[in-house]
Amino acid sequence: MSHPYARLAPEVVLDAIERFGVQCTGGLTPLNSYENRVYLAETDPHPELGTSVVAKFYRPERWTDDAILEEHRYAEELADREIPVVAPRKISGVSLIEHEGFRVAVYPRIRGYAPEIDRPEILAWVGRFLGRIHAVGATSSFHARPRVDVDTLGHGALNRLLETDLLPMEVRTPYEAAARELLTAIEARLQALGPTRHIRLHGDCHVGNILWTADGPYFVDLDDCRSGPAVQDLWMLLSGRSDEMEQQLGHLLGGYRQFHDFDHSELAFIELLRGLRSVHYASWIAGRWSDPAFPRAFPWFGTVRYWEDQAQELRDQLACLDDVLSPAYL
C-alpha cells in the first residue's frame, strides 16, 4: 500500500497553495522536512508575501485540527508581540484548510541561514528572544497540545517501538532492558526533584529550527510546540564538553533573563530530557517507517550495530543522570 504522501503530485500542491489567495507560477521546490511535507512555491508578486511562499502539508493522522490550530494561534500570538516567529497566512480568517485529504497551511518565506551558535553574542541574542517567547508562553496554557513527560516521550514511545518488527531479535532484549532502566531512573529523579512549572514552549528548539537574518534570529517550525519546563527550549542548543555547555548556557541565560525569570533548579532536568529524547527519537523513526522517505534517510536504522549502539547510549545516559550542569557560574 502506498503512503498517503504519494498522492502529493505537483498539481495537488499548487492547487492547495492557490486556495490561500496567491497565484503560483509553477516553480516548486521540496524543502528538507521528514515529519511533514514542505514546499517552496514561486508566486506572482504579492503585497504581503513577495514572490514565494512556503506550504506545509501536515502528516495525516498525527495531529487533530484543534492541536494544529492551537499551534497557529500560538505563532500568531508571538508574531503579534513582534517576536520573530513565522506565523501562517490567513485567508478569510482561516489558517488551515483541507485539500485532497491533507491539512495545509501557507507561510511567508523567510530568507536566512544557520546561526553561528558557538558565538557568545549569538547565544545571548537567541536567549533574549527565547525569554520573550517564554514570557508570552507563560501567560496561558495549551489544551490540545501534548506535554513533556515520561509517559509521552518515554514509556509510550518505547511501547510503540516494541510493537514494530524493526528491532533485530538478538538486540531487542538488551535494548528494552536499557531503555526501561533509564526510564525508571528518570521517573525516580523527577519525583525527587518535585514538580516544576510547565509553560507553552517551542518544543523542538534546536539550531535547525532557527534562521539567522540581517535582523537576528527567526524561529521556525512550531510543529512540536507543547507544554513543559522552560529548559526544554534551551538544552538542545548546547553541545560539546560539560564546561563548554556551561559557558553556552551562561550566554543563553544572560540574554534570557532580561525578559523572563529562569528557575535554576530546572538545570537538573537537562540530562533527563536528553535521555527521553533518545528513546523518543528511535520510536519516531520506527513509527514513520512506512513513509518511503525514512528508509532512504535512515538506511542503518534496522541494523544490529545501530541498536547495539543505541543500547549502549542509553546505558551511558543512565550513568550521567547525576551529571547535571553546575549552576555555580550563574
| pLDDT tens figures, 119-146 | 999 999 999 999 999 999 999 999 999 9
Taking CA atoms, 265 is separated from 201, 230, 314, 324, 325, in Å, by 18, 11, 24, 10, 10
Q: Indicate whether 317 pLDDT > 90.
A: yes
- Determine the Cα–Cα distance for residues 229 and 52; give it in Å rounded to an integer: 36
Work out whether the CA dihedral 143, 148, 154, 157 comes out positive or negative: positive
DSSP for 314-330, please give it. Answer: HHHHHHTTT-PPP-TT-
**pLDDT tier, 328 (very low <50, low <70, confident <90, very high otherwise):** very low
Instruction: Give the homologous superfamily in CATH for domain 120-319.
Output: Transferase(Phosphotransferase) domain 1 (1.10.510.10)
Choose the CATH number for 4-108 among 3.40.50.970, 3.30.200.70, 3.40.50.300, 3.40.50.720: 3.30.200.70
CA 159 to chain centre: 21
Q: What is the mean pLDDT of residues 203-230?
A: 95
Q: What percent of the chain has pLDDT over 70?
A: 97
Please work out, in degrees rounded to the nearest 5, the angle formed at the alpha carbon of residue 328 by the alpha carbons of 262 and 318: 85
Does residue 329 or residue 52 have the better pLDDT?
Answer: 52
Which residues are annotated as catalytic? 204, 221
Confidence (pLDDT) at 1: 60
Provide the phi-psi class of 290: left if phi over 0, else alpha when psi is between -120 and 50, else beta. alpha
pTM for the whole structure: 0.93
Write out the residue limits of the CATH 1.10.510.10 domain(s) in the chain.
Answer: 120-319
- Determine the Cα–Cα distance for residues 74 and 83; give it in Å rounded to an integer: 11
Write out the residue limits of the CATH 3.30.200.70 domain(s) in the chain.
Answer: 4-108
Exposure of 286 by Cβ count < 10 A (0-12 exposed, 13-18 middle, 19+ buried)? buried
